[in-house]
Structure 1
Amino acid sequence: MIDGKPYRQIGQSGSSDILCVADHASNFVPPNIELGIERSLLDTHIAVDIGVEGVADRIARRHGIPAHIATVSRLVCDLHRKEDERAVVPTESDGHLIAGNIGADVAMRLNRFHRPYHDALSRMIDDIRPRMLVAIHSFTPKLRTSEEARPWEVALLYNQDDRAAQHAIRLFGEQGLTVGDNEPYSGKQLNATMDRHAEARGLPYLTIEIRNDQIATEAGQARWATMVADIAGRTLLALESA
């Protein structure tokens, strides 16, 4: 965390056509919060969307797309959940018990992490006035609690508004990728940040899930940052040319 804030922003001044959001970019746990798990688990997908911070940072610094990036682990407070969801302070993830979160002061964590994060994102949207939001996530190739493999290199999630997603599904497919359509999760159930900041405002958006073996290295992060920036720009152009 920077200056006690659960987020950092890049390119927050001026206007921009597109704004990037990364809810699960960090595995940081504040010293005064005890999760009750092995330290090694903080480097896995249960604590952080592996590779996302590098992708979002490159999208902002190399491609001129402002970014709002989380700086606290999803195990401390899941910023991509609604405030009244039980999983906003998870007690379990992919078969791992998060013992320190049992009986946690949820109200404190909402006030310290969730609300400042979303309030700052709202202000950034108001200031920048983007015409499209792009949310970056990553997913593990295989869950510990499932035998089912996940073959998609990338996927697009959406709830009610699939305008941008359908263009991006086609554009990623043209790159020779296996593209998921509301896979491996459905935006009909898991779309809290874009429901709040995009759909509620009538803004088109892309929620992009990248399989984390694609972005585990700096080279992969650079490649995907370039591809996401390009496809986001082309998607916005297609929407506004329709």
Structure 2
Amino acid sequence: MIDNLPYRQVGTDDLRTGGLLCVADHASNFVPDDIELGIDRSLLDQHIAVDIGVEGIADRLARRHGIPAHIACVSRLVCDFHRNEDDRAVVPTESDGRLIAGNIGADVEDRLNRFHRPYHEAMSKLIEKAKPRMIVALHSFTPSLETSDEERPWEVSLLHNQDDRAARHAIRLFSEQGLTVGDNVPYSGKQLNATMDRHAEAAGIPYCTVEIRQDHIANKAGQARWAVMLADVMGRVALEV
């Protein structure tokens, strides 16, 4: 973390209003020294701890494509910013069949005060200042789960709750790129859409929650490719909503 903040913001120094804004809730695998999760350290490089590839894309969108970004600096295993405060999984004790033993009996209120609330309060202030035309919530998903034999063939998916204005345009535009595109898969935004429900739908701001399959963005070349594609597609979507 920088200055003990659970987030960092990139491309916000000379902020222009009315453009795109990127949000990356699961961009980091960082665990503060005073928190013991009780897991093998190698798991921090896997999908249960971090959305692989997302941080590199968010940085590129901000630094090279003029899309400011609000990026998480703490692992979802410490505190999941993409959950509501009263969700039991906001401090998870299990993920994809892995026990997170150190979180059993954890002081959830302390985690909320240290990480979750500052993260979302800063996002709210940034949105108020930026007045974005559209928000891009960036995530990635694993091609397969440890707890399931089901393959996930989609290369990119768009998640949404009630407001699907931007998602519909994005699905069409990604399909035109020759990609296999999912609509509210491998999980549904109608069940898990906490950040965009709070910051976009509640304020009437169009949004795209974009889930990219991790094997497409596991290296810098893939991240660069997807940053270019996202900047193009999301820019075109924003003109249509």
TM bucket, shorter chain? over 0.9
Letter in 2 for 1:160: Q
Separation of aligned partners in 2, 1:86 and 1:138: 22
1:9-28 CA distance string (max 9 Å, x none): 01224224110000000000
Q: Residue type of the partner of 1:207?
A: T
- Aligned pair count? 239
2 CA distance for matches of 1:83 and 1:2?
23
State yes or no: 1:102 paired with 2:110.
no
TM value normalised by structure 2:
0.98
Correspondence 1:133-152 to 2 at 5 A: 133-152=135-154
State the secondary structure of the residue aligned to 1:5.
coil
Taking the TM superposition and a 5 Å limit, the aligned residue runs for 1:121-160 are 121-160=123-162
From 54, 57, 64, give the equivalent of 1:55: 57
Corresponding residue number in structure 2 for 1:82: 84
User: 1:21: which partner in 2?
Assistant: 23
In structure 1, the residue matched to 2:9 is: 9
Correspondence for 1:120:
122
1:116-137 per-residue CA deviation (whole Å, 9 max, x = no partner) reads 0000000000111111000000
Identify the match of residue 38 of structure 1 among 37, 40, 44.
Answer: 40
Letter in 1 for 2:10: I
The normalised TM-score by structure 1 is: 0.98
**CA separation in 1, counterparts of 2:119 and 2:16?**
20
Report the CA distance between 1:3 and its aligned residue.
0.4
Using the alignment, how far apart are the partners of 1:100 and 1:151 within structure 2?
34
Structure 2 counterpart SS, 1:53 = helix
Counterpart amino acid of residue 26 in structure 1: S
Equivalent position amino acid for 2:2 in 1: I
**TM-aligned CA deviation for residue 162 of structure 1:** 0.0
Which residue of structure 2 lines up, in the alignment, with residue 205 of structure 1?
207
Q: Name the CA distance, whole Å, in 1 between partners of 2:53 and 2:238.
A: 25
Q: Distance in 2 between matches of 1:54 and 1:12?
A: 17
Q: Can you list the C-alpha shifts for 1:162-219, whole angstroms capped at 9, x where unaligned?
A: 0000000000000000000000010001100000000000000000000000000100
Q: For 1:198 and 1:238, locate their aligned partners in 2 and report how far apart those are by CA, in whole Å.
A: 17
Q: Structure 1 regions of 5+ residues with no counterpart?
A: none
Secondary structure, in 3 states, of the residue corresponding to 2:82?
coil
Could you list the structure 1 runs, at least 4 aligned residues long, displaced by more than 4 angstroms after superposition.
none
AA of the residue aligned to 1:15: R
Q: Secondary structure at the match of 1:81?
A: coil
SS in 2 for 1:159: coil
Using the alignment, how far apart are the partners of 1:23 and 1:100 within structure 2?
Answer: 22
C-alpha displacement at 1:77, in angstroms? 0.1
Residue 186 of structure 1 is matched in structure 2 by 188
Q: Distance in 1 between matches of 2:41 and 2:129?
A: 38
Deviations 1:55-107 (A, max 9, x none): 11001101000000000000000000000000000000000000000000000
SS in 1 for 2:187: coil
SS at match of 1:176: coil
SS in structure 2 of the partner of residue 4 of structure 1 = coil
Paired AA for residue 219 in structure 1: A
**Which ranges of structure 2 fall in alignment gaps of 5 or more residues?**
none
